[in-house]
Chains A and B, each alone.
Chain A
Amino acid sequence: MSRTLAEKVWEAHVVRHGSGAEPDLLYIDLHLLHEVTSPQAFDGLRLANRKLRRADLTIATEDHNVPTVDIDKPIADLVSRTQVETLRRNCAEFGVRLHPMGDFEQGIVHVVGPQLGLTQPGMTVVCGDSHTSTHGAFGALAFGIGTSEVEHVMATQTLPLRPFKTMAINVNGALGEGVTAKDIILAVIAKIGTGGGQGYVLEYRGDAIEALSMEARMTVCNMSIEAGARAGMIAPDDTTFDYIEGRPHAPSGADWDAAVEYWKTLRTDDDATFDAEVHIDATELTPFVTWGTNPGQGLPLSANIPDPEKIADENERVAAEKALTYMGLEAGTPLRDIRVDTVFLGSCTNGRIEDLRAAADVIKGKHVASGVRMLVVPGSMRVRKQAEDEGLDKVFLDAGAEWRQAGCSMCLGMNPDQLAPGERSASTSNRNFEGRQGKGGRTHLVSPLVAAATAVRGTLSAPADLEN
């Protein structure tokens, strides 16, 4: 029977099929942990006197709470410090490998897994974090779970799940100059909505996707959850294999050959059918930014703020009105006229080496506009080191940006990097929810290229605007 990529990976992990309403029991190949969603799960194990079944398929890092300056000092926020110290105690007690602050392999959990070569095609990967969908870029079935499920995986290395439906996101044609993976995914979310992917695994397909690097594919899959889909996948190909080969945990020798042979079977069969299909013409895409308070409220940078009164659907109209009030914006304003206070380059969406290179290219020899602060936060210490080896830190520092240590940073208001009430950011992160970057903060989601150009001009801008 012909099957989609997602169905193949699912079937390869079924420990037992459920009967009737009972879900399938799915084996989990890799469990990623961080300090925020794990403490109550470890506690649950202790209370029930259960063991961690497979410490050797589990790895932890510190990312959400960590400061990105003065990391050699204890975390000043006592509650954050307690959470990080709790992770350290739990990992020591249960024998879990942990990369703590300051370690060369520390970083955002979704940057760390792939760069270590732990994320491989055809695997099942989970983490108590919704952006686990990132790992789907390798053809893995990867999704975020809640803390009860974290505990369940710890105790059993499995999860009871009902199969997802499948949706093909076909993106064809060549991307224009200055148009990136971030613009693709923002356009997808604007098209299908924040609930459009609910219950589905998205498979990104088409020549525009095949042409993307692994970093760019991770950006696309990362934001699948913002369309409501727990997972997004891309079939592995030579780009994938080239990225994995030689990484610390990649197979080698005969194992490599056997793995690649299997990975090459991980493609949707030609005659397989999806439960839903969406088509995007990549040639029509332009730099995309959000104007509202959910990631579906986005438009091309060349557009104006929409007028809620012209939105027919009542729920969407009310949502747009509330969003504009919160964002302090007026209908009809050109997006290019929106002035920002802060530019954030980083996160599990756009904190990889290629993102830093792209932004550095734009900002090189220029300067951040007066009154604007720009934070550049590598997704991991390895990315930071690589960027420094390439001299990117100097480019950003010379432009007047801040060069930080690795972490989730300003993607979410959990560590010292936050917006003040009323402050406005152009951010390469993934969520523009109310208060996401700090209470009262206002977020516009953008690509690294738009972030860099915006930092220079002080208003939402594309690199092409710098030439005028």
Chain B
Amino acid sequence: MDAFTTHTGVGVPLRRSNVDTDQIIPAVYLKRVTRTGFEDGLFAAWRGDEHFILNQEPFKAGSVLVAGPDFGTGSSREHAVWALMDYGFRVVVSSRFADIFRGNSGKQGLVAAQCSQSDVELLWKVLESEPGTPVTVDLTDKTVRAKDLVAPFEIDDYTRWRLLEGLDDIALTLRHEPEISAFEGNRQTWLPTTDPLPAV
């Protein structure tokens, strides 16, 4: 995972709440077995509409998505994060994220920046009145800046640290392998395994 400190890019106002992961990427795009190339599935149903924000200049080149509350609800598909990142997004700003989506974002290096809804509304106004306004997201001081607006955002400290350092979760966990083995040695013997059962 690449480290993230600050990012500046075109902000995209998405005035919708409850943007579920089926909207971010419909199931039909989940059939691939690769980890890249999901940009064509991003908001696929909405992109058929020429008025959709990502079909407008200069938002096409957006990299900071500013959305309504409850972003990323529904399915656990990490493809939603891959699709956003493959398209070019580095940050999603919302006043509330679904838990699984937030977790998936943190694993991939997409910053899920949680701002107050009033700041989201202010960002929408800036981005709509001056399309193409660059938005700067600074993970070191946890702010989103656009024009004169400086909006603080929340992200949990551990995810922030991992993003700033660009660290791989699995490698971090494997440092504790002896503790995992010790735990396994103490598990109840009656707990099930998936080993095939003898035919009756």
Contact = CB atoms under 8 A, between A and B. Distances in A.
* Bind each other: yes
Given A15-B180, A25-B179, A65-B31, A146 B73 contact: no
B31 A83 contact: yes
B99 A149 contact: no
A55 B165 CA distance: 32
Contacts of B143: none
Given A21-B156, A22-B158, A118-B192, A160 B172 contact: yes
A21 B159 CA distance: 9
Of the listed residues B22, B23, B179, the one surrounded by the most CB atoms of chain A closer than 10 A to its CB is B22
Interface in A433-447: 433-436, 439
B18 A194 contact: yes
Interface in B148-190: 156-158, 161, 169-170, 172-174, 176-177, 179-180, 183-184, 187-190
A56 B69 contact: no
Interface stretch (A166-174, A314-322, A330-338, A348-356): A314-322
B96 A198 contact: yes
A167 B196 CA distance: 37
A369 interface: no
Contact of A262 (B96, B188, B194): B188
B161 A21 contact: yes
B100 A144 contact: yes
B115 interface: no
Contact of A315 (B45, B68, B75, B187): B68
Contact of A230 (B97, B100, B172, B196): B100
B180 A156 contact: yes
Nearest to A199: B99
B14 to A, nearest CB: 12
Given A117-B192, A322-B16, 14 more contacts: A27-B180, A36-B31, A43-B33, A55-B194, A130-B76, A147-B79, A149-B104, A230-B99, A319-B18, A414-B31, A431-B75, A433-B20, A433-B22, A439-B26
Interface of A: 15-16, 18, 20-23, 25, 27, 29-30, 36-37, 39-40, 43, 48, 50, 55-59, 64-65, 77, 79-80, 82-83, 86, 97, 117-118, 120, 123, 128-130, 144-149, 151-152, 155-158, 160, 162, 194-195, 198-199, 225-226, 228, 230, 248-251, 255-256, 258-259, 262, 294, 315-316, 318-319, 322, 412-414, 431, 433-436, 439
Interface of B: 15-18, 20, 22-23, 26-28, 30-35, 45, 68-70, 73-79, 81, 96-100, 103-104, 107-108, 117, 156-158, 161, 169-170, 172-174, 176-177, 179-180, 183-184, 187-197
